[in-house]
Structure 1
Amino acid sequence: MILFPAIDLYDGKAVRLFKGDYAQMTVYSAHPESVAADFVRCGAGHIHIVDLQGAKDGTTPNFEAVQRIKAASGAFCEVGGGIRSMEVIRRYLDAGLDRVILGTAAVTDRAFLKK
């Protein structure tokens, strides 16, 4: 079994939503890269990252935070949220991310999946 501890991002911070409600957000750290490094120190080899703003509006406002997480952790990192074009996929992969996760694009744009 492989466990992926998760880091949800909003405004560059590690957060958690209560039942998916953006109005009920708890900020756990202003430095998500430190959270990732702590996960690795505790034995994690993989990290699941979600850009909550990206998931909501289809952009990638937390791209730099994602890069910092990957650099600080050295772990296998997968990212989701706001990934709705090949350009964004390439950008994340070029930045060293190991996997991208498609959500909305996979459901709403079947032609995109064929690319």
Structure 2
Amino acid sequence: MSHYHNPEDWSHIKKLGAHSPESFASFLAFDEAALRGKDNAIPPKYRELIAIAVALTTQCPYCIEAHSKAAQQAGATEKEVAETVMIATALRAGGGLTHGLQALKFFEKAAEND
């Protein structure tokens, strides 16, 4: 294995679909509706920028690649993608900060019980 992100990994998707056809088909239909549905109010470019932000926070390299390419095809600019990266980064850091507040709270409670 040379790298964890290898385009050849997609060859396993057929196995996934074969072993869990109903769930897999439902996932594909949901994914299609959420990202490319006919009744979506959010334009494709913005849906793809949102998808990039989520992919960055979930740290899915395949999603980052797919949605960055799709955003470019939907008319997003490099500046918009960069801004999306920084928004996702700020929110992910904010999550660390707020979870840190929880750590301090639990630490305090543990000290009170000693």
Larger strand proportion of the pair: 1
Structure number with larger C-alpha Rg: 2
TM-score bin (small chain): 0.3 to 0.5
Larger helix proportion of the pair: 2
